[in-house]
Amino acid sequence: MRNHAEQRGTTDFGYQRIPVKEKAGLVSAIFNSVASRYDLLNDVMSFGVHRLWRRFAVKLCEIQPGQRVLDVAGGTGEFTARLARLVGPEGLVVLAEINETMLQLGRRRFDGRAVGGRVQYALADAESLPFVAEYFDCVTMAFGLRNVTDKARALSAMYGVLKPGALATILEFSHPTVWGFLPLYDFYSFHIMPIVGRMVVGNGASYRYLAESIRVHPDQERLKGMMEEAGFERCEYFNLSGGIVAVHRGFKPI
C-alpha cells in the first residue's frame, strides 16, 4: 500500500519529498548523465563485487533452456546477458528499460554476439509493463526497484506478466544487518561514492542520490511484505555482503 505522503501526491527522491509526477524525469536525468560509464562505475563503486551479487541472483532465478524471461529496468543489459546465456537458442529474454539512452547501450552490448538473437528490447515503464498477461517464466529486476516511483504498482505489474507457478527475483541494495558496520557504510556512501562519481563521470550529485535512495528504500522485511501484498507466495530474501544487498524471491501461485 502507498504511504500517506504518496497518497497526497508526493514521493521520495533520495531524502527529498517531490511531486510524484517529477520523479521519473529526475531519475532519467541522472541515468542519462552516467549512462556511458555506468558499467565501469558499478565495478569501481563495488570493487567488482556486484558481479558476484548478480551471479547469485541469477542462480535463484532457476532459469531453464527454452524459457521466456523479462528483465525489468535492465539498464545496459549486464544482467540480461547472464540470463540470455541460460535460456539457450530456443529461449527469449526481453530487456525492458524506461531510459532510452540506457536501452540503446543495452542494444550495443549484444551487437554481433551469439546470444543477441535471444534478446528483444522494450522501452517500458516498470509500473505499466506492456506485455501479455501470464507470458513469462521468470521476471527479474536488478538494482532498479528503488528508482521506481510506485514500487507496489511495479510489483503488481511483474506479478501480472508471470505464468502461474513462475517466480520473480529482485536484486537491490538494502539495509546492513551486521552490528557496527553502518557508520563505515555511511561514510563510504556519503563521502567516498560522490567523490568517485565526480572523478569518473563528473557527477557526484548522482551518487549522493544513490546513497540516499538506498536509505529510504524498504528494508528486507518490508519489501518481502510488499511482494506478499502483490500476491506472491513463498517469499524469501537472502542477504549478501552483510545486508548491503539483498535478493528477494517470490512465486506466483499455481
> How many whole angstroms separate alpha carbon 91 and alpha carbon 78?
18
First to last CA, the chain: 24
**Cβ-contact 75, 42 below 8 angstroms:** no
Report pLDDT for 173.
93
- pTM of the predicted protein model: 0.90
pLDDT > 90 fraction of the chain, expressed in percent and rounded = 65
Domains of the chain by range and CATH?
4-178+219-251 (3.40.50.150)
pLDDT tens digit sequence for 86-121 = 999 999 999 999 999 999 999 999 998 888 899 999
Report pLDDT for 201.
67
Least confident residue range of 49-63, 147-161, 176-190, 230-244:
176-190
